[in-house]
Copies of this chain bind each other. A is one copy, B any other.
């Protein structure tokens, strides 16, 4: 247990990531008081019942004033509405951050609401599971994982240092990045893989019902690896694709070209092309294991 970094931290949205962050802050003693602003009364009640936060409310006037750190953890499509709701209640000197998977869209939707005297530092933890809701939070979710921060020009260096310190203390490695670059990197590491996984699981579920049954039965042969990420929150992912459209469509174009090339090699029986391609991809796995992100 260390000295708390903040007196009160307010999580806006106490779902999988919000409640994981609350649990991590509690575990490491980084906030004296944890509160949540949560649109769903059921989720708010659950979060308090589980002891994830001390107080959870649907009314921003009851939890936002006095919070030294406010972390927005809602689907990207709800960020603008949240911005309008919390802005009048933000305390001067507070830091506002978020956990959204697309940074340009969050900046577009949230920055206009941030009053003078409040630091806005967008963030994105590279962590998560396919589960949803306050009960799915994990106190060690961020340990050994990257936290990307995309500060705006002119951000108070002291606020940035304090937020970086918080993520470091819960076990993350902090990386500073341009928001546009973040969106491009995540399009390939996260958004495209999710789109592909959703597609293949959908393709399988559309098969004649006897075949679809066997897909489940024999899923251990490769398919099940895709079903885990295709079980992620549908609203969250809808918003990611709608809000990172250009970058996603660009990497999808590259992927489709590469897939067409392999399809052609299979049709023409070009074994050498296939073997060469399949050998190259092994190296990437090795690099991920070496980087301790496997």
Contacts and interface: CB of A to CB of B under 8 A. Distances in A.
A201 B281 contact: yes
A107 B241 CA distance: 45
A227 B266 contact: no
A271 B61 CA distance: 31
A50 interface: no
Contacts of A226: 193, 196, 225
Determine chain A's interface SS by DSSP, over half rule: helix
Interface string A240-265: 01100100110110111011001100
A226 B195 CA distance: 12
Count this chain's copies in the assembly. 2
Interface residues of A, number: 93
Interface in A190-217: 190-207, 211, 214-217
Contacts of A157: none
A78 interface: no
A27 interface: no
Nearest to A270: B242
A285 B249 contact: no
A161 interface: no
A274 interface: yes
A215 B185 contact: yes
A169 interface: no
Contacts of A146: 217-218, 220
